[in-house]
């Protein structure tokens, strides 16, 4: 009878120790949950990077294509501000003063009149 009690206590202690390791120990459920979240975050990051890589690959393919000269020219014009020989460059600068409705008087001009 005494051996049966000792065996039961040892088995209960072993079960308690295994449960502790399962839930709180190294490599337990908490670690698995944290690693699963890291894996999901990495998958999202990889998806965004894959889209960027696909866009860059399409751009490279466009520049290498037979009609790539037009794409190269467009990039040289927009990004580098280059023009062809014989072309005239015009720069349009917008007026930054606010537009006032007709009839509204500016305080600075009102004192001078």
So what's the pLDDT on residue 107?
Answer: 59
Tens digits of per-residue pLDDT, 78-87? 888 888 899 8
> Does residue 104 fall inside a structural domain?
no
Apex 50 CA angle, 47 and 52, nearest 5: 115
What's the total number of domains in the chain?
Answer: 1
Tens digits of per-residue pLDDT, 54-107? 999 998 888 888 777 888 888 888 888 888 899 888 888 888 887 777 766 665
Domain that holds residue 73: 2-84
So what's the pLDDT on residue 87?
Answer: 87
> Does residue 95 fall inside a structural domain?
no
Predicted TM-score (pTM) of this structure: 0.46
Closest CA relative to residue 50, chosen from 102, 58, 112, 30: 58
């Amino acid at each position: 009878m005494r051996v049966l009690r000792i065996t039961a206590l040892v088995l209960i202690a072993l079960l308690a120790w295994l449960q502790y390791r399962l839930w709180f120990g190294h490599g337990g459920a908490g670690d698995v949950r944290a690693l699963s979240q890291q894996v999901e975050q990495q998958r999202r990051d990889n998806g965004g990077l894959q889209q960027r890589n696909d866009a860059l690959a399409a751009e490279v393919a466009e520049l290498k294509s037979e009609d790539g000269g037009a794409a190269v020219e467009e990039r040289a014009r927009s990004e580098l501000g280059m023009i062809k020989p014989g072309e005239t460059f015009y720069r349009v600068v917008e007026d930054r003063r606010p537009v006032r409705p007709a009839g509204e008087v500016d305080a600075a001009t009102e004192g001078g009149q």
